[in-house]
Structure 1
């Protein structure tokens, strides 16, 4: 029984986590000799030609570097004892700029700064895949779970193949390549698995320390080592970075040991002691070194200097010592790796254990080979699984023949009813997704099985396996597919598919103000027809959220399900909110007035949304417009009329309805007007706050028309009384929800588009995620820099790592797309480090221009992939 359960779990995890482990193993093998590869790629940069002259002392080398970069501070210096190795230097960013500094290499003979090395970004990306599949916190959790499963694989695999003659080394370790088919797959899977089992257990047991904090702390406790006080490991750091081992600077790479050793204690904000005096003392006390790291404190008065060094003949590249000297050259502290208890040595050597370098060069080579073999188990495991599946299906087919009903038609109908209806959506703002789930709910309520999927997740094979499908798709821009479905349009719809078995319906969402109304829905419909699919009914096109078109779609759903008596869909009821603040933000601006609004719910339960969600406002007509209509029609505002919500005054009802020309309703009674006039359309605004603020905040620019203010902006910024009631509901906008975890985030917006970006920033900074880059543009810095003080505070506190501004009427860099183009190198670095890109603002001008810059800088293929992965999101209007 136990063996059967273990077998089922082993193959189940194998066809799921096995793929992740294959990727992790392959990338881990590629990183085994990362330092040597980077060095080999960069002769003259990481390695230099030895000269007969002596190497510069640290103080002389620093003087040369500071002369070359007089306006920037040197914060760290890494020296190697080999005469052909360049010194590595960490230079702080220029004053007044954001960033973590720049890693450069310097010639140790003359102090000349060398060009940046090649290959680091590639290795960094491989590292991101290895550590978290280059997918942020979600990827980290997947890798962590898969690593834990690797331990299960090793132990359960050992149990499952335990031979009767367990003492026979031949049975355990001999590989017979003469076998064929399934027998060969099993031989490769089981015997080679036994060879590499110790390496996988070691890699997994140490690798989990970077996935789970509780495991890492337990690891230290078991080894009897003191717990580190802070994690201290940045996302781009290599495997093995530990809490007490400092952080790897952005842009560093290439040398063994790098910045991977222990952080010295002579830091803080104190100036570096005299290196010319202390260097001879260090040489005497250390007895020689392979590598030494000097962290150079900034500001204040001199006190101590730490030397973190790898001694001669160190057992591995993390076996570093730390010497701390005071300004007079007196030894304050000298921590030696060799003096540590075994448990602390192991705790401080997690990365060497993980990579195999703890056991020297042979250990590194063996661990690399074991890592590169990981995909073998994924492939052979899948082949074994498919072989078992084919055999089970053959048995099932034989059983079906024996148990077949007398009527093959009845059997076919039964199978058809059992097949789920696929409801696929392609959504830009969340409307199509909501209608898809609403459609699925209607079908499910009628007793039909339903499956809901994003269109971007489907391929030709999924469609050819489907009998009935409903497509709810929006159109973005001038007839384009939504961001998340662009890959489907580019790949699947550009190819062919045999869809003769498919019956389908299309609900196309769009706006008639665009030239290609419902363009993507029409293209999808045409593609389905061309490839043999049969429409269940004519395409239903919706202008905005036209209720009559949606009722027509609902009728078609009733025809499919047989449930023709379902009630009409109605918009969700608005909540009751109170307008508590209205502040003009851009007095004196050349543009239209922009207001910062705050609303508080009358029901505290309504304080629930996610950054990126939308506030839908139920606007009212201007009081003057209502009075003019009443006067022109001869009605009295106090007249009581019957409505769905009870008896109300005609004035209050008309405030919420579309008002036609008075001549069009001449002679109609007040009750008739209340019954027939359609309600005003809602207006949508990006939410600029988070629930923890205790209120919902908006940033609204007033719009003007020939007859006065715009409907929604006029109501919120002018007509609604302070303290008055506002009809509002929050609409989910999953296409602009925040990325998972703490991956870097680039936020780009203009004008009142800052509202949606502000909510993301507030949530991330509150959560401690500080790798944020904001690019914002408006007209004049003096008048149109919304939330200036708040943004300045985030920048000063480190919550906003980089800020770039573009004010078009102030001269210089005019627009956000220009700022983005000028920062192309930084953009590439951020994206290579897993950053997501969020754009919020105007569809006319800004969004297409930003998109063009992104395509030119990152490439269309990468941008498409980022959109598919949810790393490129837009909320534009």
Structure 2
């Protein structure tokens, strides 16, 4: 029976080993993406707190408009930490070169259809939590982020994620460099990796207590063949569970059926409810354009259509509702009937996107809808856990270090396994030659 499992383990590894090695390497690089970005560009993210009070958000957005006159501000992220800059997100051109979505996806987002485009992105704009988050391309749908000093309103930097080193690593990690085919190859390789891990555990299982001891310790004093064997078998055993979890959660970014399965298993609705709409004042109703599939994205507000409830007022209201929040993320409405979405993160939140949300009328500031993280349906909460588990950020630095080590080990296993296979072939040929000589 073990010969059967050995053959499955071998041939699946030969078929997908190179892809697995690349995915593990790029995954290891991405583990500390946030920390490395902040270390490489501290001026973007951090400032020295000033004795003067913070500038109002209207002043900060005015500085961004002066910096990029043609840009449309899509959202703001304000941290409670006095050393952090304010992050102002600019809207990408839907369906255009800066948008990773297809034109029909952009139109669906404009029409408010849930589960598409930006609706599937988390608060950092990188990962989806909606049912269609695995369809891909979400990272390209956002525009650049401009960082502003909250005390002086000076622009401290700009980040266009698609132009970063980490976007290249993420594109390799998910197979996006190869388009639909590339994502499929990575997804199928991930499925094969789950089988490889399972058959590897079957092959590892010792027949005696003495063999158990040998398979739990690396014999560093042995020859290079024994050392290579132990590096593959022993370290493979210790990292198997973590690699299995990484591979299993990684399927969510490769296959739509996997995401649908999460919602089916948890008996949760697949589609998100429509966001609430603002009540357009009578004087502005006649100026509101009719919605259509070919409608252009909302333009910067004019004096005739400007909402009476400002971003500063929305922030003040959010601070009253959640005075201890780590950050306040404001998503501005895209059209005259849209609402202001405010997401807040509690200090004891399970992960970075486990936010509470409130929707405000863009004209009156009235609370239209609110939802705590606990009030999300089970499918959303389970799907939301996939990213922090997959990246190893779920328990902070300890789990990130473990994730980095395991990812690096994952790179070595196709190499050590191939060496074991070649040694076995060489040994088999020598045995055949001896038998031929004896005959």
* TM-score for both structures, normalised by structure 1: 0.39
Superposition deviation, residue 33 in structure 1: 0.8
1:343-362 correspondence to structure 2 within 5 Å:
344-362=380-398
Q: Cα deviations across residues 489-509 of structure 1 (Å, max 9, x unaligned)?
A: xxxxxxxxxxxxxxxxxxxxx
* TM-score for both structures, normalised by structure 2: 0.75
Superposition deviation, residue 161 in structure 1: 1.3
1:107-146 correspondence to structure 2 within 5 Å:
107-116=149-158, 121-132=164-175, 134-146=177-189
Distance 1:360 1:102, change over 3 A: closer
Distance 1:151 1:91, change over 3 A: same
**How far apart in 2 are the matches of 1:118 and 1:49?**
24
Compare CA radii of gyration and give the structure with the larger one.
Answer: 1
**Counterpart check, 1:289 vs 2:325:** yes
Superposition deviation, residue 30 in structure 1: 0.8
**How far apart in 1 are the matches of 2:220 and 2:164?**
40
Q: Cα deviations across residues 186-224 of structure 1 (Å, max 9, x unaligned)?
A: 211111111111111111111011111112211232233
Superposition deviation, residue 143 in structure 1: 1.2
**How far apart in 2 are the matches of 1:307 and 1:300?**
17
Instruction: Provide the secondary structure at the position in 1 that maps to 2:344.
Output: strand
**Counterpart check, 1:316 vs 2:342:** no
Distance 1:54 1:266, change over 3 A: farther
Q: Cα deviations across residues 1-48 of structure 1 (Å, max 9, x unaligned)?
A: 3x2111011111222312211111111011101011111111222222
Native 8 Å contact 1:71 1:94 kept in 2: no
Provide the residue aligned with 2:414 in structure 1: 378
Native 8 Å contact 1:271 1:298 kept in 2: no
Q: Cα deviations across residues 631-673 of structure 1 (Å, max 9, x unaligned)?
A: xxxxxxxxxxxxxxxxxxxxxxxxxxxxxxxxxxxxxxxxxxx
**How far apart in 2 are the matches of 1:388 and 1:103?**
54
Provide the residue aligned with 2:249 in structure 1: 206
Native 8 Å contact 1:89 1:106 kept in 2: yes
Pairing partner for 1:325 from 331, 353, 360: 360
Native 8 Å contact 2:243 2:410 kept in 1: no
Provide the residue aligned with 2:289 in structure 1: none
Native 8 Å contact 1:41 1:118 kept in 2: no
**How far apart in 1 are the matches of 2:221 and 2:267?**
49
Q: Cα deviations across residues 756-777 of structure 1 (Å, max 9, x unaligned)?
A: xxxxxxxxxxxxxxxxxxxxxx
Q: Cα deviations across residues 541-588 of structure 1 (Å, max 9, x unaligned)?
A: xxxxxxxxxxxxxxxxxxxxxxxxxxxxxxxxxxxxxxxxxxxxxxxx
Provide the residue aligned with 2:264 in structure 1: 221
Q: Cα deviations across residues 298-323 of structure 1 (Å, max 9, x unaligned)?
A: 4436x631102222221211211211
Segments of 5+ residues of structure 1 without an aligned counterpart are 230-243, 245-262, 404-877
Pairing partner for 2:205 from 146, 162, 176: 162
Provide the residue aligned with 1:64 in structure 2: 63
Superposition deviation, residue 367 in structure 1: 1.3
1:513-552 correspondence to structure 2 within 5 Å:
none
Provide the residue aligned with 2:111 in structure 1: none
Distance 1:174 1:74, change over 3 A: same
**How far apart in 2 are the matches of 1:190 and 1:18?**
16
**How far apart in 2 are the matches of 1:118 and 1:298?**
21
Native 8 Å contact 1:271 1:297 kept in 2: no
Distance 1:67 1:129, change over 3 A: closer
Provide the residue aligned with 2:19 in structure 1: 20
Say which structure is richer in helix: 2
Superposition deviation, residue 364 in structure 1: 1.8
Distance 1:339 1:205, change over 3 A: same
**How far apart in 2 are the matches of 1:18 and 1:98?**
34
Provide the residue aligned with 1:569 in structure 2: none
Say which structure is richer in strand: 1
Distance 1:353 1:264, change over 3 A: farther
Instruction: Provide the secondary structure at the position in 2 that maps to 1:140.
Output: helix
**How far apart in 2 are the matches of 1:149 and 1:138?**
16
Native 8 Å contact 1:74 1:90 kept in 2: yes
Instruction: Provide the secondary structure at the position in 1 that maps to 2:246.
Output: helix
Superposition deviation, residue 99 in structure 1: 3.9
**Counterpart check, 1:103 vs 2:102:** no
Native 8 Å contact 1:271 1:296 kept in 2: no
**How far apart in 1 are the matches of 2:92 and 2:182?**
31
**Counterpart check, 1:193 vs 2:236:** yes
Pairing partner for 2:313 from 256, 274, 277: 277
Instruction: Provide the secondary structure at the position in 2 that maps to 1:307.
Output: strand
Native 8 Å contact 1:87 1:105 kept in 2: yes
**How far apart in 1 are the matches of 2:216 and 2:378?**
32
Instruction: Provide the secondary structure at the position in 2 that maps to 1:88.
Output: strand
1:802-841 correspondence to structure 2 within 5 Å:
none
**How far apart in 1 are the matches of 2:306 and 2:390?**
37
Distance 1:107 1:194, change over 3 A: same
Native 8 Å contact 1:225 1:347 kept in 2: no
Native 8 Å contact 1:209 1:219 kept in 2: no
Native 8 Å contact 2:144 2:159 kept in 1: no
**How far apart in 2 are the matches of 1:118 and 1:66?**
17
**How far apart in 2 are the matches of 1:75 and 1:167?**
63
**Counterpart check, 1:392 vs 2:428:** yes
Native 8 Å contact 1:75 1:295 kept in 2: yes
Instruction: Provide the secondary structure at the position in 2 that maps to 1:89.
Output: strand
1:423-822 correspondence to structure 2 within 5 Å:
none
**Counterpart check, 1:366 vs 2:408:** no
Instruction: Provide the secondary structure at the position in 2 that maps to 1:373.
Output: helix
Superposition deviation, residue 86 in structure 1: 1.8
**How far apart in 1 are the matches of 2:213 and 2:5?**
25
